[in-house]
Amino acid sequence: MSLDELSKEQLIEKLKLLELENNSLKEQVGKTYGIDNHDNNPQLQQYQHQQQSFNSLLSSEEYRRYGRQMQVPEIGISTQRKLKQSKIGIVDGDTVDVTNLHRQVLHNTETVGMLKCESAKRNLLKLNPNVEIQTYPDLISNDNAFKIISQYDYVLDCTDNPATRYLINDVSVLCGKTIISGSGVKTDGQLCVLNFHNIGPCYRCFYPSPPPANSITSCADGGVVGSCIGLVGIMMATETLKVISGFYSGDNFKPYLGLYSGFGPNQSLRTFKMRGKSNKCKVCCAETRQITKEVIEKGDLDYHTWCGSVDYNVLKPDERIDVQNLKKIIDTEKETKTGFLLLDVRPKEQFEISSIPNTRNIPYAKLKKCKTLEDVLPDYDDVPVYVICRFGRDSQLSVRFLKDQLGLKNVWDVKGGVNKWASDVDGEFFVYW
């Protein structure tokens, strides 16, 4: 009787027998050659190879573990086997910080301080010890991207800055990999599948050039609701399953951009049809390709420079004070009562979480729309003004604006913002980032 003729029950029985055989072979091999010499012994290498073929079959425990999913026609045992044969690679050079935990659920309080890739591996293995995970404790870069990405079939881009997004896109396209991409800010998220089997458009087809740098690195950034970005992650996982299972094909895959909105009147996912491949794309169109493996690996394309950074050095040294000076000014004021104004230009929500006492809050976004000094400070009585923000970026732009556009003379920037204040002056200041 051939395998095709066996019933499901008979197949499961056969699998169990093979597993038993597999285990006894493993034991025998271990006894004969010793466990420690695996890597150099050709016979053992052959054994390991066989072992990998066995691994594409599921154990009886795995039949139970994945049973509810395998019964679904869109998945079936064939997709489950593909998943079983796959290897996951996690690239992250960062360590777990307590501020990550509200949204990055692969980590927990116990793993604060650990490398993120190791923390993720540890927790994934707790969830499912049958998964093979390789970790790369590095930031992805021009130097390592090809080596890492070429080893995998699909790339999940969970990064949060344009430079890395373009790098991942370009390398994945040149390696012929499909990208599942997700991102989120505040209560909204975005989702798309890029370079689908080399026939779908890539990130560059949609966005040939990066967004203006000052729209992405403001001190106002950083807020995100954990459950909203979590949902984007889960949607990415589903899209990945659809690509792996073959649910998406060259015929039915239509490029799209999914926009999730968590705090609309109802939660919503709107999908926008996107154009196909651009025939001018500098990476995925063979005729117009300028970005190649060589260009990237030689470092001729510096993604961070190309995506730009805002020039925050807009002030002269004498237009700035440091946090120790601000402390002195505040302490002296208690004696002299000569008056000054501390202006905090962070967004209202951040100001409400924590602020230096007796500070006035005028968010930078609101400030830069003002036409006259009167609009900003209707009761201004010529006292010195000190401007502070979170990290000392928006405050510099605010000082420049107050001086150049609104004619305020006695105004200084507080270097490093409340971040520096919290670390160097007031350890009790509530830090929320």
Residue number, 140 or 281, with CB nearest to Zn ion: 281
Pairing relation of β-strands 188-194 and 320-321? unpaired
Task: Kindly state the smallest distance separating residue 177's Cβ from Zn ion, in Å.
Answer: 13
Residues 331, 337, 338, 344, CA torsion sign: positive
Q: Closer CB to Zn ion, residue 120 or residue 281?
A: 281
Q: Which is nearer to Zn ion, 205 or 323 (CB)?
A: 205
Active site residue 117: no
Q: Is-contact 353 432, C-beta < 8 A?
A: yes
Beta-bridged to residue 90, according to DSSP, are: 135
Rounded Cα distance between 58 and 131, Å, is 12
Contacts of 183 (CB under 8 A, 6+ apart): 158, 159, 160, 189, 190, 232
Considering the complex, state which of residue 75 and residue 174 has its C-beta at the smaller distance from Zn ion.
Answer: 174
Sites of contact with Zn ion (CB under 5 A)? 202, 204-205, 281, 284
Nearer to Zn ion, 285 or 362 (CB): 285
**Minimum distance, C-beta of residue 160 to Zn ion, in the bound complex (Å):** 21
Please report how close the Cβ of residue 284 comes to Zn ion at its closest, in angstroms: 3
CA distance 54 to 72: 24
Q: Which is nearer to Zn ion, 281 or 362 (CB)?
A: 281
Q: Which two tokens stand for residue 426?
A: 């007031």
Residue with smaller CB distance to Zn ion, 284 or 342: 284
Q: Taking the complex as a whole, how short is the minimal distance between the CB of residue 173 and Zn ion, in angstroms?
A: 6
Active site residue 219: yes
Catalytic residue, candidates 205, 219, 284, 285 = 219
Task: With beta carbons less than 8 A apart as the criterion, state whether 81 and 96 touch.
Answer: no
**Least distance (Å) between residue 250 CB and Zn ion:** 17
Of the candidates 238, 261, 255, 256, the residue with the CA atom closest to the CA atom of residue 189: 261
**Across the chain, which distance is largest between two alpha carbons, in Å?**
99
Of the candidates 26, 102, 29, 17, the one whose C-alpha atom is nearest the C-alpha of residue 59 is: 17
Q: 188-194 and 178-185: which strand pairing?
A: antiparallel
How many residues belong to the chain?
Answer: 433
Kind and range of the H or E element at 88?
strand 87-91
Backbone angles phi, psi at 343, to 5 degrees: -110, 120
Cβ 145 to Zn ion, closest distance in Å? 17
Please report how close the Cβ of residue 140 comes to Zn ion at its closest, in angstroms: 19
Query: What is the phi/psi pair of residue 419, to 5°?
Result: -60, -45
Q: How far is the CB of 207 from Zn ion (least distance, A)?
A: 10
Edge-first strand order for the sheet with 256-261 is 154-157, 178-185, 188-194, 256-261, 268-273
Pull the structure tokens for residue 329.
Answer: 């000014």
Q: Which run of H or E residues covers position 172?
A: helix 162-174
Q: Which of 393, 413, 412 is nearest to 346 (CA)?
A: 393
CB closer to Zn ion, 106 vs 205: 205
Catalytic residue list: 219, 389
